[in-house]
Amino acid sequence: MKIISFLAIFFFISLQSFSQSAIISGTITDQNSKPVPFATIYIKNTTKGTSANSEGKYQLQLPVGSYQVLFRAVGFRQESRNIDLKANQVINVSLAAESYQLKDVVIRAGGEDPAYAIIRKAIKKRKTYLNQVSAYSCEVYIKGLQKLLAAPKKFMGADIEKMARENGLDSNRRGIIYLSESQSKFTFMQPNRVHEEMISSKVSGRNNAFSFNRASDLKVNFYENLQDWGDLSNRPFISPIADNALFYYKYQLLGTTLENGELINKIRVTPRRGYDPAFEGVIYIMEDSWRIYGLDLYMTKKANINFVDTLKINQQFFPVSKNVWMPASVRFDFTGGIFGFRFGGYFISVNKNYDLNPVINKKEFAEVLRITKEVNKKDSLYWDKARPVPLTNEETTDYHKKEALALKRQSKPYLDSLDRINNRFKPGKLLWGSGYNYRNRFEKEYYHFSSLASSVLYNTVEGFALDYGASYSKQIDSVNNRYLRLGAKLRYGFSNKMVHGSVNGTLPLDEFTLGFNAGTDVLDMNNQHAFSGPVNTLFSLLERQNYQKFYDKQFANVSLSRRITGGWLASFSTEVANRNWLNNTANYSFFYKNDRQFTSNNPLSPNTNDALFADSRAFKIGLRTTYDFSNQYETYPSGRLYLPSPYPTVGLTYTKGIKNIFGSDVDYDFLSVDVAKADMPLGLYGKTSFYVAAGKFLNASQLFYTDYKHFSGNSLIVYEPGANKFLLLDYYKYSTGSEYLEGHLEHNFSGFITNKLPLIRKLKLQEIVDVNYLATPNLRNYVELGFGLQYLAFRVMYGVSYMDGNKVSNGLRIGIGIR
């Protein structure tokens, strides 16, 4: 036993000795003793490395041993140090400015700069390097910092000065508003599958929060033709070595230098036209291999980017094997401003410990991101040891200053104090504002009472009406972020003297969600929610046009929904309801009292008061299932978040009206299928969305108008755009109890045309083309063509409709609220 104990102790001591490590640290400066920010430091012939911070300070933890350490920064000559690491060492390095020699080159009239020959070779090798590595894994450290550089004292009634003090900013409303670090294990497999597991996360001032840093968000690859960075720009940007780059860029060879035995070409890239989606700056190309050695690019407002004025990107590569170079670091720097606020900051990603032959289970790529609840529990000692990029003095101060603030924000007294302030009753908000909200943050409860002004409606069936609602929600499962939600509403028509009320709610039940809704209500005969009650109120009172048609419904319905697996969703619903016809009882409007007459509540017979359908009772069951051909998701401590699929979503709906149960009068079977996809990217030419559906009443023994298939038409100048919305179709006339085929295609050119027009391009307009189609037994080959422009959430469209090739109508439409 003693021998075993001795061997165990010896093994433990040996293991400790083997795993001994030390830290090299220091400051990187230029020849004028000024810090060189974000220089790259790595160990030759390894994938171990780090980056200096914005003050030029660095640190790198290594096992004891001998190393050759390389120090690199854009615009500087690389330095090398041989060290024998036995204990912590301080190594300060001064980098000399790189001298790029430009050989004597004679460029004849009409000739081209020698940079073009280099770029052509780099373009020729683009696909080789894009697909060179079939899979890899690496460790990624990310630090993100955003600072408020200037702000007004007040903005839209909000006390910005007070908010700044509460969030740790200085008396001039300046300082760090977001500081976060994260470490992740990142795995990639061709063609574009990723799996990221966050190991640790730290957010200044938020002990219980998780970093927004994502390795996949900072994964940029200029070997790809297009750089699509989401909402940053309406259009993707073109890589300087894209297949068609010569059409968008001008190139100039600034010189060459020798580094690590490799000849590096420094090339300036400039957009040929100021409005092109192209970068400016410098790209470094290695001679003979024609790979990217590094790049330092930027774009400004003249490239029509959104949110920021200037965005800079710096990327450095290092060799991870004899023939493979991978990104060592990526840095984004940005500045911007809006409404008197000025901000700036950066995100830096440091990659190390690459494995080009990782053991991969392809099934793990269904999970794109994993963040567990232990991720943000690491203490300061852990971060002091694990952090590869040292904190600046400002960042250290921010962490310390906001640590107490973070503890305070989690305490019950603090949360209660916030609630006492925000829960103060203000009659103005309840009468004509946004309503009254009552919140208990500690108990995670929320009450909302609608304002009276927003609850007032007018229509010709009820006259002036009050449609008042209240709601309650409570988080009942913090692990999976699930809520109990309850609501109630009361409706009274002052002309027809009818009272309606209903209750509704949703309740999580294990893997299911239970929904219910019961009571009475006044509803639109078209169940596609083509327009809202307030819009109908305005047109009725101001234009004396009562577009919306109503019926009375007493109902009770229950639904169950759940995710079957991955992108497969399903729901079941059942309802029993009485549907009753309603007549107009009001004839009031502000204007046109002698010039126009309100139509009847029968949309198919506007000049008579004949009932469109007989009073009836219906018992129905419905099934709905969708599948998007994807099972990718992100895992958070609150549960899974499934991601949008790159493929179309297929949906199937079945509804059965059952006669004689609960006195039901209906007897029908309805089946429909739909296929839809939004925002399919088409590169520089924008994005396309489509929706196609077909349906048929397989059995139509007994059904009423409210059971028909209705369509999302529009007769107003103002409309809400959507996947299955028409521009000019009548709301009620073409609803069908037989069969239909419906199609919608929208293409957004994302500024491809308007960006070429001087002055106009500054507006960042997007060109929209719509094609809508509908065919029913009563409407043969109905086609709409729409053309327009979009800015932010507003669009102006001009539409023309045709039936069997003959023009039917045309009109201008203003869209508000882009999907």
For residue 460, the surrounding DSSP H or E stretch is none
- φ, ψ at 213 (rounded to 5°): -65, 135
What gap in Å lies between CA 52 and CA 59, rounded to an integer? 8
Please, are residues 431 and 231 in contact by the beta-carbon 8 Å criterion?
Answer: no
CA 468 vs. chain centroid, Å, equals: 33
Predicted TM-score (pTM) of the model is 0.86
Looking at residue 326, what is its pLDDT? 94
For residue 550, the surrounding DSSP H or E stretch is strand 550-565
* Segments in the chain below pLDDT 70: 1-19, 103-110, 207-210, 408-410, 478-480, 818-819
**Alpha-carbon torsion 332, 333, 339, 341, what sign?**
positive
Domain boundaries, the chain: 2-95, 132-409, 668-819
Q: Is 2 exposed, middle or buried (0-12, 13-18, 19+ CB in 10 A)?
A: exposed
Q: What does the DSSP 8-state code read for residue 79?
A: E
CA nearest to 371, candidates 218, 479, 210? 210
Q: Which fold has domain 2-95?
A: Immunoglobulin-like (2.60.40)
Token output for 506 = 């949703």
What gap in Å lies between CA 554 and CA 294, rounded to an integer? 69
What gap in Å lies between CA 281 and CA 303, rounded to an integer? 14
What gap in Å lies between CA 819 and CA 812, rounded to an integer? 19
Amino acid occupying residue 296: D
Looking at residue 103, what is its pLDDT? 66
Looking at residue 109, what is its pLDDT? 57
- Please count the CA atoms within 13 angstroms of the CA of 540 that sit on its side-chain side: 25
Looking at residue 14, what is its pLDDT? 33
Please, are residues 439 and 415 in contact by the beta-carbon 8 Å criterion?
Answer: no
Q: What does the DSSP 8-state code read for residue 645?
A: P
Angle at 141 between CA 327 and CA 237, to 5 degrees: 45
